[in-house]
Structures are given as structure tokens and as C-alpha cells.
Amino acid sequence: MATTKQSLFPEGQVALAAFAGALAHPARIAIIGLLQAREEACCGEIVKALPLAQATVSQHLQVLNRVGLLHHRQCGPKICYSINCEALRSFCHSFQCTLGTAEEVAAPAPHL
């Protein structure tokens, strides 16, 4: 969606679309699954696990990182990646709310 058209929509919808777009590729879903299983991995480890070139994996990591789905930290000359669980939970909740399938969180009953 062009930037000029994005301004026609609420910020929450634009952010949700960015998250959905970042996950809209099987390689990125595979990366998330790999990081879920390993908790943390560097790009080289991800490359070894996927049938993709290093440059391609790096591009997919950048997309996931750009929308906040990943944490990253410097590990010597390498960068290690892990899932930003809070961002992923927030995305899932926002998506459920958009679809109308999120369960309402009941307010605690007042103490009498």
C-alpha cells in the first residue's frame, strides 16, 4: 500500500497490515518457527536450516526485524535473533480483535 494511501486508515490498521505483511511469506514463517524451537539463532544457523541463500535469509530477517517481531543482539561478529514474544502476542490479539474473535477480558468485580 502506498504511503499516501496509508494515511487514509487508522494507525492501528496500518501497523496490523505491516505485521501481517511481514509474516506473509513461507520463509519468514519458517524463521519464526525455527526461532521458537531454538529460542535464539544467528543468521548462519538459520541459513543452514533453510533452503535459502544467506542474502535471502538476511532480507527476510530485516523484514521481520523492521516490524518489531525480532529481538537481536551482537554476538561477537554475528547477530543473534530471537522472537519478540510481546510484539507477537500483541499482533495476534490485535488481529483477533479485528476479526471479532478475541475474548473480552472481564473487569475484576468490585470488592464490597
Q: Which CATH number does the domain housing residue 94 bear?
A: 1.10.10.10
Cell numbers for 76: 561477537
Residue 107 lies in a domain: no
Residue 2 lies in a domain: no
Residues 6+ apart with CB under 8 A from 104: none
Q: Is the confidence at residue 49, as pLDDT, over 60? A: yes
Residue 27 lies in a domain: yes
Residue 82: per-residue pLDDT: 97
Residue 68 lies in a domain: yes
Confidence of residue 103 (pLDDT cuts 50, 70, 90): low
Residue 3 lies in a domain: no
Domain that holds residue 94: 11-99
Whole-angstrom distance, CA of residue 67 vs CA of residue 55: 19
- pTM (two decimals): 0.79
Residue 112 lies in a domain: no
